[in-house]
Structure 1
Amino acid sequence: MKIKNIFAIMLFLISFSFYAQSGKTDEKREKIKAYKVSFLTTELELTSTEAEKFWPIYNAYDDKQFELRHQKMKTYMRKLDDDNINSMSEKDALTLLSQMESTDKELYLLRDKYNTNLKKVLSAKKILKLKKSEDDFNRKLLQQYRDKAAKD
């Protein structure tokens, strides 16, 4: 493993411990985002030209998909507890289902546009590497949560 990879992972793990102690959701999201940027930068080995074009595309996509997933879906999920579903009229259920499907379509179209824009900036290999690196990052983050929960 390269020294810079080891350094990036160590930085991530040390920094994450500070994240775990933070109390505010927006602060936590920003810290995770910063760690993710650091992790992806190391993993993708972007040239300066690639990085200059990649990060605006990535950040715009990440912000929009976060908004769709966490704000709209969060609203839907609150309505989906058993009591609400049982007391909901069929008309309200159809409306909610339609809203959820619309959000799913928005997410799909957003992802499609993102992939189209990425292909203009990165090679197919780097796009695949990006997808793998995002999955790796998410697994590491999940493992951090699990480790922290096991300690508490």
Structure 2
Amino acid sequence: MKKGYIILLIALCSVNVFAQTKDEKVKTLKIAFITEKLDLSKSEAQKFWPIYNAYEEENDALRDEMRAQRKDINLNDLSESEANNLLNNMVQSNEKRLQLYNQYVKDLKKIIPAKKIIILKKSEDDFRKKLFEEYKKRHKDDKK
């Protein structure tokens, strides 16, 4: 009977993996990568992931906002005044991101040691690099 439940569980997980979008798959892989690198205790993990996820959401929202500001701009028709306004908005957005990051680090320091925060940053950078290398590899293969 237990074997049946295990097979059913594996089948359901497999279906879930195939149903995920590319963004969800990347996010799942990133979480697994970070989890492995940080080696969080159960207590640390319970406190860490809500802070991490909230930071990621807010940071993504700020990045999307910044991208939207620049998206519909025709550089040839941009007046000096409009350029100044856009530049001021970009500076303000960067200041918001910096404040968000500083608060994030403060919050993390309350639950995990500074060394693990450094490992987290390195792990995120390593994951991004690995993702980019995989992207280049796949597109190189596509061009052949």
- Any conservation in 2 of the 1:79–1:85 contact (CA below 8 Å)? no
1:150 equivalent in alignment to 2:140? yes
Aligned position for 1:78: 71
Instruction: Answer yes or no: is 1:65 the counterpart of 2:59.
Output: yes
Partner secondary structure for residue 110 of structure 2? helix
**Cα offset for 1:29?**
2.0
Q: Is the 8 A contact 1:40 1:133 kept in 2?
A: yes
Aligned to 2:32: 38
**What is the CA-CA distance between 1:85 and the residue it aligns to?**
1.8
* TM-score where L is the length of structure 1: 0.77
Residue 92 of structure 2 corresponds to residue 99 of structure 1: no
Task: Give ranges in structure 2 of 5+ residues lacking alignment.
Answer: 1-16
Cα deviation, residue 79, structure 1 = 4.1
Larger Rg: 2
What TM-score, normalized to structure 2?
0.81
Moved over 6 A (4+): none
How far is the alpha carbon of 1:94 from its aligned partner?
Answer: 1.1
Which structure has more relative contact order (CA 8 Å, sep 6+)? It is 2
Considering only aligned residues, what root-mean-square deviation do their CA atoms show, in Å? 1.9
Q: Which runs of 5+ in 1 are unaligned?
A: 1-17
